[in-house]
Structure formats: structure tokens, C-alpha cells
A and B are shown apart, each in its own frame.
Chain A
């Protein structure tokens, strides 16, 4: 397997141009997501979804306008992949998580499984869609379209280990410059999803950007649940058996 590849999105240099959204759609042939004026700052695409794989959030605060380009996190422990019954979702040689649209049967199990609300089904064809981290481009030795289009290097693509190092240095520098709000989100392998392949440098609490503060892979408790269920079934069986065993013919 090749090195694990991912995104480091540094929101401190994001200028909200949405070139990432457009480049993503152009390359991946993602349809438009409707023409709705949402009156939510400059955000008219709302959230990540089946037809929005990069989404720029605009957060208006007192004297500050935060912008963040959100994307699928490509989790170490990816619940969407765990629950997919057809094998449409798979882990690539770059350690990214991709849906094969020709295998997906549209069951939708992956949708509630994602702790970030990323993957979604398209109404018209019923299948599930999300960021592929431009799997085809990666196989061709190119960087993903969004990172390529980003004019300020807010979206950086590369081997995850390198990105984590770079991000750590960036946070330290920002702290030294007095930007004490700067923090990384998702980079830690100790978090609830075992670390994400796409992580972020934020200037406020994750909730401010619409990100879950403490995401947990939804399938984390499955083995335990199965164990409990198995134990309960066994106990039941033992009990039932005992009942029968106690009878005298």
C-alpha cells in the first residue's frame, strides 16, 4: 500500500473564493445542487451532500468572517465503509475511502453511519456519493482538483504524516504570533474516528463551523453490542434450556 494521503485545510488563509467547490464539480462531474438563495452569509450550497463534495462555510462573527472549506474526512475508522453491505465503499491504496458508484445499490446505510453527516444519497438516482479525494487523479499522479485550484494554499494535499507535521508547525507559529485561537481538528489518531485523512486548522470551536466537537465512529460499539447481544442470547438460551432441563418427563 502507498503512503496514506490526505488534506490539510488551513482555514486561516482561506479567502472563501469557492474555487475548490467549482473545481471539484468540474473534475468529478458532480451536478449542480439547486439555485437557492439561503441568506446565510455567502453560503448558498448549505452543507456537504451528494452533490456538494467541497463546501465552504461562512461564519460571521463580530468583526470577523471565518471561512472554511469542508470535505469528507476520510476517517481511519470509517463507519460508512463498515456498514456498506455491497462493498461499494472501499479503502484505496492511498488509505482514502471511496464509493464505487457502479456497485452502490442505494441502501443508504452509510448515510446515518457518518458521524460528520458527509455522505448522502442523490434523490434522482438513489445512490450514495461523496468526495473520492480524486481517486482517479491520485492514480494518475496528480493532486486532487480542489487543492490544485486553491489560490492561497488553504487546501494542502500530501502524505498525511507530512501534513500533520506542517500543520503542527503552523499552529505553533500562529500561537507565537498571538493567534491563540488556532487549533487543529481531526489530526489526532486518538480521536473517536482514529484520526481523519482530511483535517483542519480552525480559529474557533468546531461547532462554530458546523463540525461535531467529538465525533465517534458510529460502529465503534458494534462489536460490544454484538457481544452483549450474543451474551444475552446465550443467557436466554441457557435459561430456556434450564427450564426444559428442569422438567421431568
Chain B
């Protein structure tokens, strides 16, 4: 956090000064480790063992926050009789198909949930083909908001007992064996976490891509969720799981998504072969109970925002105009489609996949096989210059004169040269003013897409195929000489309006009948009263600590999600110390310093009438209002493609045997078995070292925004790897010298930093060395400094839920000295693959 979010880290430092105990768990001893109470080194790729052992510690010592767990989680819910755990099947859950490598999740369902035939495949095969939206937290249509349960938590089929059994072998000894963390250190952590949870205290977890970029990435986060729910740390001040997402507006880019499988507000993108019309789509995408029960209002309002008057009830509000999925259109399948000649054109905006994505060679081979490529960036990043300076030019795998890709480089405006919002990781929208016009041809992304859209429309006619674009509402005021569209007008459209064009104040006003429009239902209210709420900057000295008048947080300006859980089932604060949102019987409403994440007047004693829908189907004691049963899910009965409970699997390329199960790696992981993407065999003596990639404060991602700046470049001028003294001695690596890092993909050269901060770990009674590599360098990028591309080493193997690549844990070999050049480099790799 100190490395990647130093400005946010100031609050951790302040918390420490106020007595908060801070642990840092990381393969690398970073600047964060230097600034906390206790640093725990861990082997990359073993975190579920640690988290599972913490869960086991809580359960086997009866340390869970029982009242919270019983009332607010699905601990008591009964699971299908046919369900078999990894304890029964040596690392597999029931429903696994060896042939396809996929799960049929029907046996994971709650008792009594009877998904239809098609729904069965939805959670498994189809789901795995097209990653699901958040509405999958819904268990499909027709499921009850009150599934059968055993409040005594003794039934062996209740979630609590399944959980207990699932993690029973995740012991401190196993943590030592697989993570390399000694039992006394584990105990210290476990005691601190449990002592600082409960009525009076809360514990928070903070993670970043070190947890997500794994073939079990989603399950890492799930494991933390289980722990936090068991300890009562969700929906309460000082609790939660904080994702330190990328900078600027990465959160915004999933809210109003750049992801292939989502529409704004985490609404599922319709599927070509699954959804016939709006009604059919709405019926299948989510359940009727819980907040997603309102999805018709959100989808119809979105369609009204996009197609305005052209969207009517008679024509399904132009639902047929939406693009359709036909399968996995994620980043890596797109790249493979390029190599295969199926993808002809490519927009790359503020990204640098030639350096930033796993298996850089595959990325560049894809780029070289396009008809056209548009790159929008501040500098000519490697993705725009691959045709002349990619490593494959040097090896002869690509020849400039043979690359037919037409590259359009469009210079982009910087953040001070355009107005708009950033949405940060706590869902806070903050408005940014434009300080000056961008120079020369540089333009904002908003300008680019708006004017591109206008030009395209000028070329289209009234053919049916042109209508979705021609009928789009595409009429924003243009400002100044450069005719930049008004970002405030766009924000107004996102906020939404009623039939008379008046801005909506809240998402509760959204209607399913086409009388409201809204570009993103969770952002509804950001322009309440016609005022740009995101532009509010009332200093903290003039308001309370929750600071509701600084910017605007989605949804409804709530700062802590699920904050109904900050009060006990009767609506009383769990403790005076942790008082937050609670029921005021006198006023008949929920009160507190934050906006309640609950219907303001729904009493704690509310019991839903038979047949109630949406939020009305949830009781006054159900804080997790997006879920179809209103409960926090310790166990996930549907929506995941690799199991209902996080399970430790070794990375696809691992130097270590999985001693917990016969199953070595995530059985549902996605591999891409192609010549461009060869894998290191697991447990291969040719690749004995563990590598992980990392970041440095001095640089930003692929270095496109930092390497061209001398003041930053001089602070970390060369690509390097960090190795332990022991490993340096073993291999003859010299501090300040060179090392060549080899995987089945390629070899790169890095300067060597020998440091006592990296320690060899004892794993399974043998020594495991880890190589730590910051990935900020590339071969060009308009930078004053260059270096080999670390991500060229990584393979493309994907988490089956969200298709993120496993770039945080892999294996490699390390040789002292610089790498060979040209053909000799290819020969070296060939020897490693087949030698």
C-alpha cells in the first residue's frame, strides 16, 4: 500500500499512531512492510491456506461473532443433499466434468432451490463461458428468500458445519508447510484479528492485485469475506475488505464498465443464445427477491437513456439494440482471436497491453496481425510502436516490413486538461475541473468518442442495421473552440431524469414503465436537485468524520455498504464504541451519521408477507440487500464456476506440491494451450524458482506515465529483480550485476538487487527461493529509460470466474549475466522447453 497508494497509506500511518496494530502479509518486504507492526513473508500463491487457517482458528475455537453470524449470514442455511465437499473428493467439489474441466454447480444449491434445467447450466458451463454479473448473487428465478435452515448450526448439511469441515485441515502446521509462516507468527496474527473483532472492535483487510491475479483470484477475496462475516466485520465502521484498485477511475471503469460482460451498474450483458427478449432476459438474469428484484426499472431506464424517444414499451425499449455476447470476449480471447485473424481492429485506450498484459509476445503477435489499431495515450506507448521496436523484431520473429497493421496514434488529454469524475475504490465520485485546454491534437476520451460517433452517424443511413447507432441519444453541448462535449451533461444523463426532464434524486424513483431514464442506476442521485453532487468539497473541519458532503458515493451517497449490519437484529448499536446506523423507534426510522443502506422506515421487526418481491421480500433483519436471501454468503450456492468455498490450489505453474489435496491446481482454471502460450510444467526442476511481479512507488503500471518523466525515471532507472543473499550466493548473482530470468515463454534480463529483505522460505521441508520483479519497464514508450518487459515471462492462465491472469505466482529459472540476443535467445528458450 505504501508502494502503490502512498497517499492513502497516510491514514494507515495515522491509525498506527492511534494504536491500530497493522500486519503486512506479502512475498516481498516492501516499503509497507517497513512501516507496520509486523511483517509476515508468504509464498506467492498460498494465501488461501493462510486465510483458511484463520477461518479454522475462528471456528474451532468458537470465536465467531455468533449473534451476527446467525442473524446476518447464511451459516444456518441447509445445502443440497447431493453436495460433496473437497474433503470427500480429494480436492474436487461435486459436479466436476473431467472432460470439459468445468463444474455443473447444481448440487451446490441450497436445499429446496430447484433451478430449472437451463439454470443449471447457467451457473456452470454458460456462466464459465461468459463471466457473470453481480446479479448472479441471486440464485436464479423462483428461489425463496427464506430457504430451509437450522438455527442450532448442528445439522451436518448446514453451511456452518460444511465450512467447519472444509477448513478443518487448514492448520498452523499447514500454514508453515505451504506458506512458510511459522506457527508462532500465525498465532500472533490470529489472536490479533480475533481480539480486534466483535461488538467493541473491528478488523479491516486491505488487498490489491496481489490477491486477484491468480487462477483462484476470486476465491482469495471470497476467503477474506468468509473470515470477515464470521467475525462480524462487514457493514460496520472500521471493518470491511478494502480493494486498493488501480488509480484514477478504475472503480468507475467497472461501474460504467469497459468489461465485455457488463452493462452500467453491474447489469448483465445479454447473451445471443440465451435471451429472447427483454422479459425473457429479465426473468433469467437474477431473482425476484432482494434489491435485484427491481432490475426491470434499471434496465428500462438505461435503455431510455440511450435510445430516448425511440425506446418504447411496444419495441421492448430497444432491448434488441444492445450488443449480444456469444461467448468469452475477454482480453485474452480477443488477443488469441487477433493471432487467428478473427479480430481485425483494436482500440487501445490508456492501456499498454504490449507491456502490461501477461505473455507480452502473444500480445504483440496479435497486434501485428490486425488490419488497424487505434492507440490513445499521452505518449507513444510500446503498444503503438511494437512494429519497429518489439523484442520479436530483434529475434526475427516479426519483420517490420511484413506487419500490415495500420496504427493510428491519437494523442490524449491529461487529467488536468479535461473535466469529469474519478470514482475511487470507496465508490466516491469526485469531480475534476479542467485547468487548461489540451495542446495541439490532444483531446479527451470523451471528445474522441463523441466526435467519432458523430462522424460515424454521418456515414450511416436508415438501414435497419444502422438504426441502433442512428437512434442513440448523441447530443451533448459542445464547449469552446475544441468543441469538447460537456462532461456535466453526460453526468446528468447518467444520473437520470423523469418524464419532464427533471433530474432524479434517488434510484428509488426509477420506474419500470419507461417514464424515467438513467445511464447507470447506482449513480442515480449524483445530480440530485440539478446540482453536481460529485463536485462538493466541504472540508472535513466543517462536517463530521463520515463527510457526506465531500464528493458523492454510490449508491445514494452511502459511505459504508450494508450498514444495517452495524446494528444488532433489534436495531440497537452493537456497542456504543461502534455505533453507526441504528433504529430510532421514536422516529420510526434508521438514523446515524451515514445514509442507511436499508429502507429508512423498515422496522427491525418487519416480516415479509407471503409472495413479496424485491426488497419487500427481505426481513427487517436482512442487511445484505443485494442477495436474494438478504444474508452475507459464507457459502456461495450459485454464481461461481470453481466452487462454493475457497480451496487452496497451487498456481498453474508451481514449484510446490499441494499437500492438502491430490488435486494440484484449480480444476476449473482456464488454460490456453497454444504454441504462443507454452507453460512451464508444474514441479519442473528446470524452473525451480518462484517469481512474482510487483510495483514501485516511483513508477506507474507499465511506466507510460512515469518513464518519460526524468524526475521519476531517475529514482528507479533500470528494470531489476530482488533476490535473497542466499539465492545470489547459490547462483553467483552479483548485486548491481545482471540476471537472466527464463520461463517457457521467453527470457529477459534484469539488474540484480541482492537484499536481506527477501528471505528464502521453508516449504514442504525444502528451501524455496522467490524472485521479486517490478514490471514498470518496456522497450520504448517515449521513456528516457527502457528495460525488458517482465510480463513477457508470465503465461496466460486464467481464473475461471473473471478471466484474470495468474501473473502474481509463477515459476522460472535464473541465470547470472545478460540474456542472449537474436536467434540465440530463441535457441535458449527452445532448450528449456524441450531440453
Contact = CB atoms under 8 A, between A and B. Distances in A.
A152 B697 CA distance: 14
Interface stretch (B30-38, B155-163, B222-230, B359-367): B30-38
B7 interface: yes
B697 A16 contact: yes
A35 B713 contact: yes
A218 B753 CA distance: 38
B713 A17 contact: no
A39 B31 contact: no
A25 B713 CA distance: 13
A22 B6 contact: no
A31 B714 CA distance: 10
A43 to B, nearest CB: 9
B713 A32 contact: yes
Contacts of A22: 711-712, 715
B649 interface: no
Contact of A65 (B13, B34, B712): B34
Interface in B711-754: 711-718, 720, 735-736, 751-754
A37 B774 CA distance: 14
Contacts of B447: none
Contacts of A44: 714-717
Contacts of A67: 31, 34
A26 interface: yes
A17 B711 contact: no
B453 interface: no
Interface string B29-65: 1011111000000000000000000000000000000
A18 B29 contact: no
A219 interface: no
A15 B716 CA distance: 16
Contacts of B461: none
Contacts of A32: 710-711, 713-714
Contacts of A42: 31, 696, 716
B778 to A, nearest CB: 15
B672 to A, nearest CB: 35
Interface in A92-150: none
Contacts of B785: 35
A34 B735 CA distance: 20
Given A15-B34, A44-B716, A152 B10 contact: yes
Interface in A133-181: 151-153
B344 interface: no
A151 B9 contact: yes
A151 B6 contact: yes
A36 interface: yes
A17 B712 CA distance: 11
B30 to A, nearest CB: 9
Given A16-B34, A17-B697, A60 B9 contact: no
Given A15-B13, A18-B697, A35-B784, A60 B715 contact: no
A39 B736 CA distance: 5
Most chain-B Cβ atoms within 10 A of its Cβ — which of A32, A42, A153? A42
A64 B751 contact: no
A41 B9 contact: no
A191 to B, nearest CB: 28
B733 to A, nearest CB: 11
B717 A151 contact: no
A39 B10 contact: no
B404 to A, nearest CB: 36
Contacts of A62: 756
Contacts of A25: 711
A47 B735 CA distance: 19
B9 A65 contact: no
A39 B718 CA distance: 10
Interface string A19-52: 1011001100001111111110110110000000
A13 interface: yes
Interface in B424-483: none
Contacts of A18: 697-698, 715
B715 A21 contact: yes
Given A15-B35, A151-B9, A152-B10, A37 B2 contact: no
B757 interface: yes
Interface string B179-222: 00000000000000000000000000000000000000000000
Contact of A35 (B7, B717, B720, B757): B717
Nearest to B33: A65
Contacts of B10: 151-153
Contact of B6 (A15, A41, A60, A153): A15
B751 A39 contact: yes
B159 to A, nearest CB: 41
B755 interface: yes
B15 to A, nearest CB: 12
A25 B710 CA distance: 10
Given A15-B34, A16-B34, A67-B34, A37 B720 contact: yes
Nearest to A151: B10
Contacts of B33: 65
A17 B31 CA distance: 8
Interface string A70-102: 000000000000000000000000000000000
Nearest to B717: A35
A204 to B, nearest CB: 14
Nearest to A24: B711
A17 B751 contact: no
A18 B697 CA distance: 8
Contacts of B13: 13, 15, 152
A26 B711 contact: yes
Contact of B29 (A15, A21, A37, A65): A65
A89 to B, nearest CB: 26
B373 to A, nearest CB: 30
A107 B715 CA distance: 30
A37 B711 contact: no
B2 A16 contact: yes
Given A17-B6, A152-B10, A45 B31 contact: no
Most chain-A Cβ atoms within 10 A of its Cβ — which of B9, B32, B715, B752? B715
B748 to A, nearest CB: 15
A153 B13 CA distance: 10
Given A15-B6, A37-B718, A39-B736, A65 B757 contact: yes
Contacts of B32: 15
Nearest to B710: A32
B735 A39 contact: yes
Contacts of B711: 21-22, 25-26, 32
Contact of B717 (A13, A16, A36): A36
A62 B34 CA distance: 11
A45 B717 CA distance: 10
B727 to A, nearest CB: 15
A38 B753 CA distance: 9
A18 B29 CA distance: 18
A17 B716 CA distance: 12
B715 A65 contact: no
Nearest to B19: A177
Interface string B663-684: 0000000000000000000000
Given A13-B13, A151-B7, A33 B756 contact: no
24 contacts: A13-B13, A13-B17, A15-B35, A16-B2, A16-B31, A17-B2, A17-B697, A18-B697, A32-B710, A32-B711, A35-B713, A37-B718, A37-B736, A38-B736, A39-B735, A39-B752, A39-B753, A41-B753, A66-B34, A67-B34, A151-B7, A151-B10, A152-B6, A153-B10
**For the complex of A and B, 8 pairs with smallest distance between CB atoms:** A39-B736, A65-B34, A32-B710, A35-B717, A37-B718, A17-B6, A15-B2, A151-B10
Given A32-B711, A39-B720, 8 more contacts: A16-B2, A21-B715, A22-B712, A31-B710, A42-B716, A44-B716, A151-B6, A153-B10
Interface of B: 2, 6-7, 9-10, 13, 17, 29, 31-35, 696-698, 710-718, 720, 735-736, 751-757, 784-785
